[in-house]
Every structure is written in C-alpha cells, then in structure tokens.
Amino acid sequence: MMAALLELKNVHTYYGHIHALKGVDLHINQGEIVTLIGSNGAGKSTTLRTISGIARPKRGQVFLNGKDITGMKPHEVTALGVGHVPEGRRIFPLLTVQENLEVGAWNVTDKATINARMQQCFELFPRLKERLAQKGGTLSGGEQQMLAISRALMAQPSVVLLDEPSMGLSPVLVEGIFEIIKRINADGTTVLLVEQNAQMALQIAQRGYVLQTGIVALQDSAEMLIQDETVRKVYLGEN
C-alpha cells in the first residue's frame, strides 16, 4: 500500500485546558480532495492549524510524505510543501496584491520563477492581475479569497489546506471558488478542505471525515457520506 501524502496519528491538541482534538487519525493520499465536515467547535480548523504548525499537538504525530513534521514551525512546514489558506483569509491589508503574492513565495529568490508562478495565479484568477497595485484591504471579499488562495499557491505546495473558502461569499462566487478548487486539484495539488457548505464539499471530494467535538465520528467515501442518514440530517440540512 502506498504511503499517505499527509497523515495524522492519534493527535491531541489543546488550547490551554480545552482539549480540542482528542486522538484524531486521518490520512490524505496524493491527488485527493478530502473534506472535513462538522459543527462549529468540532475541531476542523484546529486540525488544519495542527498540520501547518500554528497549533502544536501535546500527543500524536503529523507526517508529510512519511516525514514526521510534528511541532515544526509554520514556515518550516510551508517550505516542505504545505499551503494553508486560513479561515477569514488573513491577507495583508496594507500590502498590494503583488506584495501579498510575493510574500507567498518568500523562500524563492529567482524573480523569473516568482513571475511565472504569478502568471499561473492569474490564469486561475484573472481579476487579480487587474488589481495588482491595489491594497489587499480594499478588495472585495471574493477577491480577497482569490488572493488568499493564490498566496498559498505561490509556494507551489504539494497539499493545500483550505479553511472555509466559501465563507461570506455570494452563491455565484461560491460556485466559482469550488470550480477553482477542482482545477487546482486537477493540476496536481492535493486538497484538504474544511467547509460549512458540506453538500458542495462532498460533491467535489473523494472522501470525507466527520468531526464531532475533536473526535473522528465517521469517515467514508464522499458518495457514501452524502447517502448517510445522520450526515444528511445534521450537516446537509435535510429533515
């Protein structure tokens, strides 16, 4: 069996005395889109933060390509190939679009490479090219989400962690973002997606994990999760 690209083994993460992740096990294979679904406070964002090094687990291990990256600093994890698009986008509001993108390629010194990667981002999001000199904070919510995703892609990650990419966006923009996620994946980037819109997330994912108060309550193919009665009632809004 091929080793997983990304794997969490018995991960326990705390915020102070709050036990946020209680022995989470999950794996993502090369080329997959995997989604984490669950209610607010279930531990979805904490899982992504633990992978990217923002949160440090007390117990358990995180592996990338078989390498133990547990407790590494965020910039070290990024350099190894993990891109993180945090909830709320977190772009630099006082930097221009171009400067935000350049920050994403912080470990690249060759200007031609940086420019080539920017062009790839503009192919995904042509609007960013029109806004190149504009400050990030003056962009619309949809444009900021485009910039946040592009900034992560500037490091050419092997896996990108997307935390609530549709939050606060209009239905039309949400559809556009999900199409882009599919394109990013088709271009060879593995995706771990946290998304309140569980219906749309399961439609583009191969597999999914359901988190409940820091525990993996259910895992299956996306197709089976969509058919699961509990998932339909609790997360897909069906009666």
What is the CATH number for 80?
A: 3.40.50.300
What's the structural domain count of the chain?
1
- What whole-number distance in Å separates Cα of residue 218 and Cα of residue 231? 9
User: Does 125 reside within a domain?
Assistant: no
**Residues 190 and 27 sit within 8 Å (Cβ to Cβ):** no
User: Does 180 reside within a domain?
Assistant: yes
Comparing CA positions, the residue from 184, 108, 174 lying closest to residue 149 is 184
pLDDT tens digits, one per residue of 114-164 = 888 889 999 989 999 998 898 988 988 888 988 999 999 999 999 999 999
User: Does 53 reside within a domain?
Assistant: yes
User: Does 76 reside within a domain?
Assistant: yes
239 confidence band (pLDDT: 50, 70, 90): low
Pairing assessment for the beta strands 67-68 and 59-64 based on DSSP bridges = antiparallel
User: Does 193 reside within a domain?
Assistant: yes
H or E, element range at 11: strand 6-15
CA–CA distances in Å: residue 6 to residues 69, 148, 192, 209, 213: 10, 22, 10, 14, 22
User: Does 117 reside within a domain?
Assistant: no
Q: Structural domain of residue 83, as residue ranges? A: 6-91+159-234
Given CA atoms 76, 79, 82, 83 in this order, what sign does their dihedral have? positive
User: Does 126 reside within a domain?
Assistant: no
Comparing CA positions, the residue from 231, 177, 188 lying closest to residue 209 is 231
- Find the distance separating the first CA and the last CA of the chain, reported in whole Å: 40
pLDDT tens digits, one per residue of 25-49 = 999 999 999 999 998 889 999 999 9
User: Does 167 reside within a domain?
Assistant: yes
| Helix 111-124 vs helix 97-104: crossing angle, to nearest 10 | 120
106 confidence band (pLDDT: 50, 70, 90): confident
